[in-house]
Structure 1
Amino acid sequence: MTFPWSTMDEQRAAVADLLESLTPEEWARPSLCTAWTVRDVAAHLTMQQLGVRDMLVRAPIVMRAKGDMNRAIHDMTVAQVHANTDAELVAGIRASIGSRRHTVGVTRYETLTDILVHTQDIAIPLGRTIATPPQAAAVAATRMMTMRWPRPFPIKQTLRLYCLEATDTAWRHGTGPLVQGPMGALLLLVCGRPAALDRLSGDGRAELERVLRA
């Protein structure tokens, strides 16, 4: 079965091409991922295939996080930034193309979500366009809205009060006031990116924006 690996490969190639074209100033720009620069997100994308041995090497970083997974991910990413040049980060992403591995403790669907969302975290603030495949985004969004572990984004509880509906693929989730738009924008919303609100509409959109920005 090629899906979702083929989609991951396409996204990895696209984001590597984009990163390779950036100026030093663009590498340092803020991404959509809170408190992370474009370089930070790129470094994170080189860590989508960490096996048991890789995690053992990073065990001191994880232990210092004292159970805070977000802090552990942040600190591992910072270490990766410091250990690699921009060119090495691009090479690391390219090296993952064709691989069928994912980080220990998560599934290929979290890995799919990671590359789809973080590609946009980089591209959107830079004014670049990398298309998000709607069907792949639908699979990722369903995973985010139904999974219990890894812990889902806090926004999930808020979005349960709305009906989310894609306009470019057959995907609908939840009941309540309608929030609709491209599947890629809905995936960003599900993953806690308020920037996606500008691409959404529906009778629940304005209310949702007020709730999220409160």
Structure 2
Amino acid sequence: METQAVWAHIHAERRALAATLTDLTPEQWQADSLCAGWTVQDVAAHVISHPQIGWAQMPAMVARNFGRSYNAMIFREVKRMGASSTRESILADYATYDRSTRKVPTTTVLEPLMDCLVHHQDIVRPLGLRRDMHPEAAAVAADRARTLAFLSGSRKVVTSTRMVATDVDWVRGSGPTITGPIQELLMVCMGRARVATELKGDGLELLARA
């Protein structure tokens, strides 16, 4: 997928997420997301932080988290952003950075795509809401997620199964098969197998043990 098309999907998903957040009650903003230890507000602040973190912000971020792992740094930074933000300021950030093409240094354009697609699910699924991903965008994000599986805890599943999407031309891996909508396979690739739905195949046994 061309970079311009990727950004178009990112911008569309940011707008959709902003609409979701606008309709939530104050209580829902403080509800738990699918990310352990993160509230809906924490996740919302994290997603729109991508265009706000540049080289100027990196030294302080590294200094605050010196000696910690990458995942520990992300957890601490997300909690810090969530605590220092309000519902109003977060929604204002979505309006301000709606069409931004800035991203965190050293990352590709696919990281913000993965973040907005999957974190939207992290917010809506615990609240009993639904947001369907664009299949082609989810397929591109799933390919990137597979290369970063070591960060999301899904490496064993990604390297040991054959994933087959039922709604887009996408087949990856080898081994026992897992079939289903590409958005659910993306959730698996991002370490969220426990909440993935509509999946079939003999690879589900491996998912159950993951």
Normalising by structure 2, report the TM-score.
Answer: 0.91
For 1:140, the equivalent position in structure 2 comes to 141
Distance 1:158 1:110 in 2: 20
The secondary structure found in structure 2 opposite 1:199 is coil
**For residues 197 and 17 of structure 1, do their structure 2 counterparts lie closer, same or farther at Cα, with a shift above 3 Å needed?**
closer
Q: C-alpha distance in 1, partners of 2:61/2:169?
A: 41
Give the aligned residue type for 1:122. I
User: Contact 2:50 / 2:103 at 8 angstroms: preserved in 1?
Assistant: yes
Asked if 1 retains the 8 angstrom alpha-carbon contact of 2:47 and 2:112, the reply is no
Partner of 2:104: 103
Preserved CA contact (<8 Å) 1:186 1:196? no
Structure 2 residues not aligned, in runs of 5+: none
Shift of 1:105: 1.6
Q: 1:158 to 1:131 in 2, by over 3 A?
A: closer
Conserved 8 A contact 1:144-1:152? no
Q: CA RMSD in A?
A: 1.7
Matched with 2:174 is 175
What count of residue pairs does the alignment treat as equivalent?
Answer: 207
Paired amino acid for 1:193: R
Matched, 1:60 2:66: no
Instruction: State the AA in 2 paired with 1:9.
Output: H
Q: Give yes or no for contact 1:137–1:183 (8 Å, CA) kept in 2.
A: yes
Pairing 1:1-214 to 2, within 5 Å after superposition? 1-49=3-51, 50-63=53-66, 66-147=67-148, 151-205=150-204, 207-212=205-210
Structure 1, gaps ≥5 residues long: none
**2: CA distance, partners of 1:4 / 1:172:** 20
Deviation at 1:94, TM superposition (A): 2.7
- Spell out, residue by residue over 1:29-85, the C-alpha distance to the aligned partner (whole angstroms, 9 max, x if none): 11111221111111111211210112234343232xx14111111111122122211
Which has the higher mean CA deviation after the structures are superposed, 195-204 or 175-184?
Answer: 195-204
Contact 2:157/2:207, CA 8 A, preserved across alignment: no
For residue 53 of structure 1, what is the amino acid of its counterpart?
A
Identity score, percent = 34
Q: Distance in 2 between matches of 1:116 and 1:43?
A: 14
Task: State how far apart, in whole Å, the 2-side matches of 1:31 and 1:196 are.
Answer: 12
